[in-house]
């Protein structure tokens, strides 16, 4: 009896809600044709990309001037801006706040080495995957005692807050603690100084941080139980117009050879 009552209530709610929705859409369409996101971007003369710039080769602060954000993602973002004939504005923020920033319209899209996870896809829409990565562990070069997942028992690991690396680190059994920080460069310093036993991060990014010396990579297959999710760009949910421009740009870059040139430029392999 109670169950039937609940189902009835739910049905009424759905009917009322969908009623409201259709009224709203018909009201807008009867006035002027709604401006699309792409129209607005063109009118503004700029498109805003959100990223978190401690993630080379995807995005990092240019060492030459200490402020420009450069990287594979930024070149792809620039190609999107070029396609629209507008300027690219880059906003550097906490990785953890990027999805919300797209949702609220603070940024037009993300280009942040982001995996299109099912959880995120509930909030934003993703482009096609444009690169593949896997999670690895970065430890101190001099550390010879960590060679596998089993060796991580009782250890303290680090990962960037809100990332799939954080999630992966938390799946390793026996780990004493997973500490999160907002910046990958700071996590690497913690490993160097011995305050963290290791950092979970994606292979290409790990490779870049290795260049500074004193660190090494350990392959831990257990960090990749979710498989490879790929890297994709996020737009506001339902923003099909901008998503199409982004997907078209990726397809074009791949077919005209630019994509391969970018991989080479940033020392990445497929
Ligand atoms: N690929 C991981 C994720 O999607 C980490 C991305 C971190 N990106 C960055 N720009 N810091 O969660």
Q: In what order do the strands lie in the sheet with 198-202?
A: 177-181, 156-160, 198-202, 135-140, 215-218
Per-residue pLDDT of the chain (270 residues), as tens digits, is 455 555 544 544 544 444 444 444 444 445 577 899 999 999 999 999 999 999 999 999 999 999 999 999 999 999 999 999 999 999 999 999 999 999 999 999 999 999 999 999 999 999 999 999 999 999 999 999 999 999 999 999 999 999 999 999 999 999 999 999 999 999 999 999 999 999 999 999 999 999 989 999 999 999 999 887 899 999 999 999 999 999 999 999 999 999 999 999 999 987
37-132+230-265 and 135-224 in the same fold: yes
Distance CA 58, CA 114 (A): 10
Topology at the third CATH level for domain 37-132+230-265 = D-Maltodextrin-Binding Protein; domain 2 (3.40.190)
The CA 95 to ligand 1 mean position distance, Å, reads 7
For residue 31, the model assigns a pLDDT of: 58
Using a 6 Å cutoff on CB, does residue 202 contact ligand 1?
yes
Using a 6 Å cutoff on CB, does residue 52 contact ligand 1?
yes
For residue 156, the cross-strand partners are: 177
Using a 6 Å cutoff on CB, does residue 135 contact ligand 1?
no
For residue 15, the model assigns a pLDDT of: 46
Which has the closest alpha carbon to 192: 172, 212, 176, 207?
A: 212
The CA 169 to ligand 1 mean position distance, Å, reads 14
Residue with CA at minimum distance from ligand 1 atom 4: 114
| Ligand 1 atom at shortest distance from the alpha carbon of 73 | 10
Q: Does 254 sit behind a cis peptide bond, omega within 30 degrees of 0 on the bond before it? A: no
pTM: 0.87
The architecture that CATH gives domain 135-224 is 3-Layer(aba) Sandwich (3.40)
Domain boundaries, the chain: 37-132+230-265, 135-224
The CA 6 to ligand 1 mean position distance, Å, reads 41
């Amino acid at each position: 009896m109670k169950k039937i009552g609940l189902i009835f209530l739910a049905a009424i709610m759905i009917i009322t809600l969908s009623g409201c929705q259709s009224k709203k859409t018909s009201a807008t369409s009867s006035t002027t044709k709604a401006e699309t996101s792409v129209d607005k971007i063109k009118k503004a003369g700029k498109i805003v990309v959100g990223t978190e710039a401690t993630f080379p080769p995807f995005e990092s602060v240019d060492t030459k001037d200490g402020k420009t954000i450069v990287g594979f993602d930024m070149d792809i973002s620039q190609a999107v801006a070029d396609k629209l004939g507008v300027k690219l504005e880059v906003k550097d923020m906490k990785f953890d706040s990027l999805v919300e920033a797209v949702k609220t319209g603070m940024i037009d899209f993300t280009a942040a080495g982001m995996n299109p996870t099912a959880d995120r896809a509930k909030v934003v829409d993703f482009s096609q995957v444009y690169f593949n990565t896997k999670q690895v562990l970065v430890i101190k070069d001099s550390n010879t005692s960590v060679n596998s997942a089993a060796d991580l028992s009782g250890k303290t690991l680090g990962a960037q807050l809100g990332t799939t690396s954080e999630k992966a680190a938390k799946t390793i059994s026996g780990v004493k603690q997973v500490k999160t920080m907002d910046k990958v460069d700071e996590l690497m310093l913690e490993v160097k100084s011995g305050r963290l036993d290791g950092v979970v991060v994606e292979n290409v990014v790990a490779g870049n941080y290795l260049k500074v010396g004193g660190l090494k990579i350990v392959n831990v297959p257990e960090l990749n139980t979710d498989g490879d999710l790929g890297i994709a760009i996020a737009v506001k949910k339902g923003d099909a117009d901008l998503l199409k421009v982004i997907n078209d740009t990726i397809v074009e870059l791949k077919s005209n050879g630019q994509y391969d040139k970018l991989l080479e430029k940033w020392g990445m392999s497929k």
